[in-house]
Amino acid sequence: MLRLFKRTAPQRDPQEFHVSHGADSYRIALKRVAGATRFTIRVRSATRDVVLTIPLRGSLTAAQDFAQRHAAWIGARMSRLPKPIPFHPDETIPFEGAPHLLQHDPDARGTVWLGATADGRPALCVAGDARHVHRRVSDFLKREARKRLEQSVKRHCAKINVKARDVTLRDTTSRWGSCSASGGLNFSWRLIMAPPHVLDYLAAHEVAHLIHMNHSDEFWALTRKLSSDVDRAEAWLKAHGASLHRYGARSAGDVD
């Protein structure tokens, strides 16, 4: 007697699971990697999450057990991450590398402008309802980032007679900038919080990719021709870049 069996699709890994330590629970994102030879756990400060890398043939159950055994370590690392800072009145955020107080003036006309506190400290002054401060500050930072990046890109392109197709902004966590094969340049809007020489270096870096779509010696030679701040900017990003992602966390009272 011939019996037919219905073929079932192979089960896929869950995208995430949770482990607990005491009263705390931590979300673990899963990532299978063909070249991995063991389980590894990484706490990412930019995204404030945990990634568990699994070998291609690794057991999901064994991976979950591995994460649970390291729950105390995960908790310790998570507790050391910088505290998120929202765009709320009286918070301090960096703008072009300098700390600025978010000074709320609900009765003022306008949206956001550069100003100073009563004792002379730099401030970002925000008008209107407090519920709109987050959106107004976010919009202001993105406008300023676009303006400065477009200026830098245009200047660096002119030096080597090339043209970028366009400049777009995103909130990327894995890289500060990128160049597409079609000549489009993409940047993190958070670069407006870094010192100006860092933003300008990243613009030069991506413009150099319009000629060299790699990180060859020729690419770095061209980047250094465009920017005299390569080493200084790279050092700043290594030391402080991840901290830029702590700013701008939304809260329940923020509205668009």
- The residue segments making up the domain with residue 149 are 92-246
The pTM of the full predicted model, rounded to 2 decimals, is 0.81
Q: How many domains does the chain have?
A: 2
* 15-to-27, 51, 162, 208 alpha-carbon distances in Å: 10, 10, 42, 37
Instruction: Out of 54, 79, 104, pick the residue that ends a domain.
Output: 79
Tell me the per-residue pLDDT of 53-95, one tens digit each, with 9 for 90 and over. Answer: 999 888 899 999 999 999 999 999 988 888 899 999 999 999 9
Does residue 11 register a pLDDT over 60? no
Tell me the per-residue pLDDT of 132-170, one tens digit each, with 9 for 90 and over. Answer: 999 999 999 999 999 999 999 999 999 999 999 999 999
In a domain, 6, yes or no: no
Per-residue model confidence (pLDDT) at position 82? 83
Judge contact between 237 and 176, C-beta under 8 A: yes
Per-residue model confidence (pLDDT) at position 248? 92
Beta strands 177-179 and 166-170, pairing class? unpaired
Per-residue model confidence (pLDDT) at position 16? 86
In a domain, 171, yes or no: yes
Per-residue model confidence (pLDDT) at position 121? 95
Q: Which residue has the tokens 């995204």?
A: 47
Per-residue model confidence (pLDDT) at position 124? 97
Which DSSP string corresponds to the chain?
A: --------PPPPPPSEEEEEETTEEEEEEEEEETT--S-EEEEETTTTEEEEEEETT--HHHHHHHHHHTHHHHHHHHHTSPPPB-S-TT-EEEETTEEEEEEEETTSSSSEEEEE-TTS-EEEEEES-GGGHHHHHHHHHHHHHHHHHHHHHHHHHHHHT---SEEEEE--SS-SEEE-TTSEEEEEGGGGGS-HHHHHHHHHHHHHTTT-SS--HHHHHHHHHH-S-HHHHHHHHHHHGGGGGGBT---TT---
Which amino acid appears at position 3 of this protein?
R
In a domain, 11, yes or no: no
In a domain, 5, yes or no: no
In a domain, 128, yes or no: yes
Beta strands 112-116 and 98-105, pairing class? unpaired
Tell me the per-residue pLDDT of 184-221, one tens digit each, with 9 for 90 and over. Answer: 999 999 999 999 999 999 999 999 999 999 999 999 99
Indicate the length of the chain as a whole number.
Answer: 256
Tell me the per-residue pLDDT of 162-182, one tens digit each, with 9 for 90 and over. Answer: 999 999 999 988 899 999 999
Residues 61, 132: one domain? no
Residues 66, 98: one domain? no
CATH code for the domain in which residue 153 is found = 3.30.2010.10
Please state, as a whole number, how many other Cβ atoms lie within 10 Å of the Cβ of residue 183.
Answer: 13
Residues 191, 75: one domain? no
Residues 66, 96: one domain? no
Tell me the per-residue pLDDT of 85-122, one tens digit each, with 9 for 90 and over. Answer: 999 999 999 999 999 999 999 999 889 999 999 999 99
